[in-house]
Amino acid sequence: MDCIFCKIINGEIPSKKIYEDDKAIVFMDINPNIDGHCLIVPKKHYTDFKELDDEIILHIEKIKREMTDKLMKKLNVNAMTISMNYGESQIVKHVHIHLLPNFIVKMKPEKSVDEVYEILKSED
């Protein structure tokens, strides 16, 4: 399978991981729309969200809540956009969720992915 997310999950392509467990991974988007733009990706390859069973949906929801709290706290924001593209708008055909901190007045990233990664990986 020639899926960039599967290659990231398998360690064939490096990534800026900020969370990982046996079912999912969260890493920084390499072309972020805003500082802190992260992706939640199930480790099993699903091309369509309709393929997800209840267990993985609940697991991803838990991660989504935890990561939203972490991003908001670490990046000092009080709003988030959480999105999932579907169908033709889904560029990578592996189910994933975008987490985008809302900086209200910012319209593009101001920090590098590495800088934001270090902030998110730091201990509280």
Answer yes or no: 96 catalytic: yes
Element (H, E) at 96: none
Which amino acid belongs to residue 77? V
Distance CA 79, CA 81 (A): 7
Catalytic hit among 37, 59, 94, 96:
96
Under 8 Å between Cβ of 38 and 67: yes
How many residues in total does the chain contain?
Answer: 124
Active-site residues, by number, are: 96
